[in-house]
Amino acid sequence: MNPRDGTLAIQRCRDCGTLLAPLIAACSGCHGGDLESVPSSGIGSIVSSKVMHRELDGPQDNPASRTIAIVALDDGPWVYSWIAGHIPTHSGQPARDEFQPSAMDERLPLFLVQSDQGP
């Protein structure tokens, strides 16, 4: 992620060209370690998701929930991410997501579920 310019960066192996998730240290294709950061389209589909609940600081606070997911980027790699928006539960219809720059200082990118799902 590059919060300064609002792009999602992924890794590309300079030896074999395999595209990899951010924060990967070695290529899963050729096991090489010569990786470069390249921009991603920031578009993908949710593979799996889980709503996580946590208690806030004070007893008067309501529990907060966030959705963590694995997003298969159209570029190829899968990334762990936070999800904003309602995830459709229709069987066989993947949720399409778009990377959203976030002010949060997180290691995981934030994706927004696109609402214009077709039938």
pTM score: 0.74
How many C-beta atoms surround the C-beta of residue 84 within 10 A?
Answer: 14
Give the chain's domain count.
1
Residue 77 located in a structural domain: yes
Residue 32 located in a structural domain: yes
Write out the E strands in the chain.
9-13, 19-20, 35-39, 43-54, 64-73, 78-84, 96-100, 110-113
pLDDT tens sequence across 38-73 = 999 989 888 888 888 766 555 555 556 788 889 999
Reported residue count of the chain is 119
Domain containing 33 equals 9-113
Residue 4 located in a structural domain: no
